[in-house]
Structure 1
């Protein structure tokens, strides 16, 4: 994709309120990290009370994925998840607008040797990540240490899309549209590293149903297809917000061995098993507000209540 370009249209009065909000967020983001975490938790508590639709989706997901938990345990996890979601807004500002040296002090990275080995082997890398609430921090911190590209879905608001892309591309080599298969394969065959997350529901057309936390989930087959067609390694990547304002631990895991296989279903199952392990390590930091089990196998009932 081409680099984001500022347009005079962004000065239209329809964007003034957004400009004001972004300006205030930039100012607040200059505060100490501990203060931003506290503000994020306060925002998350407010969102828990007001964002009832998202709260119900997240609660339903936790009920489906952690039936072994008591209702009290799941409610506590849900509240902590909203606190993490509130922090996300300030982490976004940190990742986009903090100077590189200040940002770098927040993170430690383990496993960079796996990316270096892929580079030495002349292979591209699908950096298999997940939609954690810490997504922006993970991409921003790793982008300071490793040349990489990110998969990207344009935002509906053109001004916010411009600001978001500009913020991300300060840390990345560039972004690729989610549907730009040709561009993705070109980068992989050239030895590039591409951030890619296969953990959301994109419908049945490009998916197979395999278990995720014991629930049949529409799982995209693109991971194994990209790996095969791009002649690339699949290397899992996770990030975790540490307690007590210690920053972030980024882990680049060993590449998946013997991947892809001859079976897309087996590959998708393997991906979901890894997703389960990664989420279970810090479930409060995952994006539970997404309707992950929206698409159902034929004949099965819907798992979420209809929107009013």
Structure 2
């Protein structure tokens, strides 16, 4: 696996984007749940979406997948690919110096692999990741993503403690805010007007450390010419509401705002509206039969 990833990473980024785009489009057009989900989620959020936009969203997913070996296996990033020094890091540095660390949310949008590594050039960051079930794959993912200045924290109690300690040291933590949490670790909040089970971890870390919360993504530029960074403060200038349900809705709204900047670069094929096993029904379906509601949310 490591050798295969290394071999893929030797290809130029433009070639990887071309190959990934073709594979992503093919996967979306094959019969199956993935292509249907991609189209359904995109159309729900943007009813006016065109077939061309759906195709581009499928290509973007393929590019995202083949970007992983490129950023995991290269020893250093080509700084010419990204220009975040003017658009992101001065603001992040100011916020981080003023407060007790900073919570950086990076949704499934654009290229989220480039952000931790480019941040680590300036300051250390601890990134949360959902470990695969297979031990060998979990170790592989953690090893590949760990770099100088980048620590990986699994989505376990140990990993949460790592995040809290990093924030208390005044460092940055990175979290995918639109990752569906396990039952008991989230709450239902609207996402494009539809209930989505949303994590409450960000709210807990924010209340524990008072670290400001920002949302950012790296927009993929055409023809593999690089990435441009975008950032928004979440809530009231980086301060979330005291109520966890309200805070989850604030985070989802911030994700929606960033998606509107590059809607074809969002991972629409991700099962964002699923109900985790053991989770309560969303509020507006509480009176409906459980099995029927579960099918609707898949």
Under TM normalisation by the shorter chain, which class is it?
0.7 to 0.9
Alignment of 1:293-308 (within 5 A): 293-295=273-275, 296-297=281-282, 298-299=286-287, 302=293, 304=295
Q: In structure 2, the residue corresponding to 1:200 is in which secondary structure?
A: coil
Counterpart CA distance in 1 for 2:150 and 2:115 is 15
Q: Partner residue of 1:197?
A: 176
Q: Partner residue of 1:43?
A: 23
Give the conservation status (yes or no) of the 8 Å contact 1:111–1:253: no
Give the conservation status (yes or no) of the 8 Å contact 2:212–2:238: no
Counterpart CA distance in 2 for 1:305 and 1:228 is 34
Give the conservation status (yes or no) of the 8 Å contact 1:40–1:87: yes
RMSD in angstroms over aligned alpha carbons? 2.5
Shift of 1:194: 0.4
Q: Partner residue of 1:215?
A: 194
Shift of 1:169: 0.8
Shift of 1:196: 1.0
Pick from 132, 137, 146: which aligns with 1:155? 132
Shift of 1:156: 2.8
Superposed CA offset, 1:265-303 (max 9, x none): 322222111111111111211111222112351235537
Counterpart CA distance in 1 for 2:94 and 2:155 is 27
Change (3 A) 1:24 1:220: closer
Give the conservation status (yes or no) of the 8 Å contact 2:179–2:272: yes
How many residues are paired up? 282
Q: Which structure would you say has the larger Rg?
A: 1
Consecutive unaligned residues of structure 1, counting only runs of 5 or more, are 1-18
Pick from 26, 32, 36: which aligns with 1:56? 36
Q: 1:143 and 2:120 equivalent? A: yes
Consecutive unaligned residues of structure 2, counting only runs of 5 or more, are 276-280
Give the conservation status (yes or no) of the 8 Å contact 1:100–1:144: no
Q: In structure 1, the residue corresponding to 2:224 is in which secondary structure?
A: coil
Give the conservation status (yes or no) of the 8 Å contact 2:101–2:168: yes
Give the conservation status (yes or no) of the 8 Å contact 2:71–2:77: no
Q: 1:90 and 2:78 equivalent? A: no
Counterpart CA distance in 1 for 2:199 and 2:131 is 20
Shift of 1:254: 4.3
Give the conservation status (yes or no) of the 8 Å contact 2:110–2:220: no
Q: In structure 1, the residue corresponding to 2:223 is in which secondary structure?
A: coil
Q: Partner residue of 1:287?
A: 267
Q: Partner residue of 1:29?
A: 9
